[in-house]
């Protein structure tokens, strides 16, 4: 439970960030718990995250602002491990370095700055720009479907532990308007809610049928998938008929040995 000081401080910060949100950032506290904040970072232009919708949480301690929050990003980004605590100078990994003058907006601006860099820390990962663009294009789908798990949703995830398997329930409860926009976007772009792939993009009749989701990075993934499928197709006959071929070779070998034996 938040202390009176934390309650007062976070209430004031919500008013401030609502009236003057930082670029690419929006955030609010959960209705049920002022210590649990949800944010969305929109990927900036000229970055591989452009257009991506990155949802995460800040879990503040009861004695905030005298201690920093736990920071997580739930949406796969190619920059951070989803739903993993991030080790930053503004997070709970470094309570002694936290400045009580820093606010929610300061923390989220710092997170965005770190995200668009290549510096590594606990909870960060390395990916190519193509992979990050691919994930950015699928981010709306991932947020609103829980990574395609909405058809078997078992209810919202618990605090600070949002996974793909919650079917998008937690995202919808915290961002109902954004969730509705995401579903509209999926319908307009013919995105399959189960897979995140576009259903209106055909493939040549001479090649494998590929479901290519929107986004420039997806074409690279489609090419890789096609190469793998063609490779497997070439190996398929040998793998499926290896016992038959082995038996045939043994038969031919025995026949030749018998003919040679009779000749001698």
Residue-wise pLDDT for 25-73, tens only, equals: 999 999 999 999 999 999 999 999 999 999 999 999 999 999 999 999 9
- Residues of the chain above pLDDT 90, percent: 67
Residue 102's closest CA among 78, 71, 72? 71
Q: Among 85-94, 132-141, 190-199, 214-223, whose mean pLDDT is lowest?
A: 214-223
What's the pTM?
0.74
Residue 150's pLDDT is 76
pLDDT at 212: 30
What pLDDT is stored for residue 218 in this prediction? 39
So what's the pLDDT on residue 202? 56
* pLDDT single digits (tens) 159-169: 444 656 788 99
Is position 87 annotated as part of the catalytic site?
A: yes
Residue of 28, 61, 81, 87 marked catalytic: 87
Q: Which of 226-235, 236-245, 253-262 has the lowest mean pLDDT?
A: 226-235
203 Cβ neighbours under 8 A, 6+ residues apart = 209, 210
Per-residue pLDDT, 243: 52
Q: Give residue 253's pLDDT.
A: 55
Report the pLDDT value the prediction gives residue 33, as an integer from 0 to 100: 96
Which whole-number Å values give the CA distances from 233 to 190, 211, 227, 242, 258, in the listed order?
Answer: 29, 18, 10, 15, 37
Q: Determine what percent of the chain is predicted with pLDDT higher than 70.
A: 70
């Amino acid at each position: 439970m938040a202390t009176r000081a934390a309650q007062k401080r976070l209430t004031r910060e919500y008013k401030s960030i609502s009236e003057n949100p930082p670029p690419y950032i929006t955030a609010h506290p959960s209705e049920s718990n002022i210590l649990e904040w949800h944010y969305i970072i929109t990927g900036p232009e000229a970055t591989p995250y452009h257009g991506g919708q990155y949802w995460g949480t800040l879990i503040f301690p009861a004695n905030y602002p005298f201690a920093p929050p736990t920071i997580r990003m739930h949406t796969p980004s190619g920059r951070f491990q989803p739903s993993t605590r991030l080790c930053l100078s503004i997070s709970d990994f470094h309570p002694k370095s936290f400045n009580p003058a820093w606010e929610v907006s300061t923390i989220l601006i710092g997170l965005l700055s770190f995200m668009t860099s290549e510096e590594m820390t606990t909870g960060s990962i390395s990916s190519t720009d193509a992979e990050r663009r691919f994930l950015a294009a699928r981010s709306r789908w991932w947020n609103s479907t829980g990574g395609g798990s909405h058809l078997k949703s078992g209810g919202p995830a618990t605090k600070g532990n949002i996974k793909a398997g919650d079917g998008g329930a937690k995202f919808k409860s915290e961002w109902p308007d954004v969730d509705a926009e995401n579903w509209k976007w999926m319908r307009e772009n013919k995105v399959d809610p189960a897979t995140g792939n576009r259903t209106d993009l055909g493939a040549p009749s001479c090649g494998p049928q590929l479901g290519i989701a929107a986004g420039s990075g997806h074409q690279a993934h489609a090419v890789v998938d096609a190469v793998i499928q063609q490779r497997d197709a070439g190996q398929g006959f040998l793998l499926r008929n290896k016992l038959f071929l082995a038996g045939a070779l043994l038969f031919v070998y025995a026949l030749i040995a018998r003919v040679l034996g009779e000749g001698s």
